[in-house]
Structure 1
């Protein structure tokens, strides 16, 4: 056995710590034990917890099932969510673009936010989104992106903001042709009736509601769900890559 600091083999026993033999280096006085328990959770546990989250389980429900403290799972959501782009890389330019809005709230019901989502009518997956109020100022940020696609048609509901940006020739107002975007938005809604039209976010046991306490957390969650639905993974590899880059 050698000292982990100076590599000296002049080692002596020096009592016990938490049931394990403690050693001391005679040369540099470094104290150590022969082996250390692995700290933290495995990648499998992290992945299972995050998959439960994006599939509708609240943080405290995950804690009860996986025996991982809910604040730890919250930190994992923040860490992974911060590594992800807003939407996955897309190679196709949509010929028909569908746009819709989904209501949620931050902290309490009166603090309403709207999630505007965009999909390609022919391909599964959300390809653009913006979070804000339901005004034309919010949609304007989204329009800057989607107008560059020059789609043949843009399909929306009858909300009056859309005609401010879309010409009559390119604009189709019809819920019937919004099956793709409605289907994608339904993925954000928990299946449980108690959560109904609220996005999969923080779980409040007392009120049996599900909501986010911060807009930042809401955005992380949206990125996680979009990535999971596109690639059927929770992107732990992206988190590991970022850690390695930080070390380098």
Structure 2
């Protein structure tokens, strides 16, 4: 037996790794097992199927039970894709009437988090969103996007934060006219298990929630999911 790096034959046993005898090279310190089995990575089709299951209401452990793929592997795929996707897409038509609303969810040990969404009153799809608490600091980045639309009106639910940014006379406080944004928020809850009102699925971190929302919004816009990086097992 020789070291795979320096080819030295001065080898000693060094415990076990995953049930196999581990060796160490006295010359260079490289550790290795004899006759290692190289596990092939999952195909692109398998990765895409798992991500589609995820954005169609299944949790990570549910996908694991169906496919046999460990849930942490699927989580890494979601993170890899979420890091590739943007937070917002340029609207096909600049909205003349915008709708703003907040969706409540939980992160970690039942910490209340809000997903703020902005949509075009006359077209489907979420155009911009942010995640955080119910404060003006959270809404500020969203408003920096929405204000560029120069809408004639902004329809809201009357949260006290909105008048701090929306010019006088441009805000309509009326839940009746918020069917578009409420419908989009309902779709988020329907398609993403961690946003269901009564569920055992929950977000352990805000970053994981953001990755999930990016992936879902992409899916609802294009009805497809990107392929995760191949180097992720």
TM interval, shorter chain, is 0.7 to 0.9
1:189 paired with 2:189, answer yes
Shift of 1:43: 1.3
Do the aligned partners of residues 89 and 144 (structure 1) sit closer, same or farther apart at CA in structure 2, a change above 3 Å counting? closer
1:156 paired with 2:156, answer yes
2:210 aligned partner: 219
1:203 aligned partner: none
Between Structure 1 and Structure 2, how many residues are aligned?
196
What SS does the corresponding residue of 1:176 show, helix, strand or coil?
Answer: helix
CA distance in 2, matches of 1:149, 1:138: 19
Shift of 1:222: 0.7
RMSD, aligned α-carbons: 2.5
Alignment of 1:134-213 (within 5 A): 134-190=134-190, 196-197=196-197, 209-213=200-204
Structure 2 gap ranges (5+) = 1-36
CA distance in 2, matches of 1:43, 1:91: 30
8 Å CA contact 2:58–2:192 kept in 1: the answer is: no
8 Å CA contact 2:56–2:192 kept in 1: the answer is: no
8 Å CA contact 1:87–1:227 kept in 2: the answer is: no
Shift of 1:87: 2.1
1:77 aligned partner: 78
CA displacement, residues 189-239 of structure 1 (integer Å, 9 cap, x when unaligned): 1479997437xxxxxxxxx51211111111100100100000001122xx4
Structure 1 gap ranges (5+) = 1-35, 199-207
1:130 aligned partner: 130
8 Å CA contact 2:192–2:216 kept in 1: the answer is: no
2:225 aligned partner: 234
2:105 aligned partner: 104
Do the aligned partners of residues 92 and 38 (structure 1) sit closer, same or farther apart at CA in structure 2, a change above 3 Å counting? farther
1:56 aligned partner: 57
What SS does the corresponding residue of 1:98 show, helix, strand or coil?
Answer: strand
CA displacement, residues 176-195 of structure 1 (integer Å, 9 cap, x when unaligned): 11111111101121479997
8 Å CA contact 2:59–2:194 kept in 1: the answer is: no
CA distance in 2, matches of 1:193, 1:220: 14
Do the aligned partners of residues 146 and 192 (structure 1) sit closer, same or farther apart at CA in structure 2, a change above 3 Å counting? closer
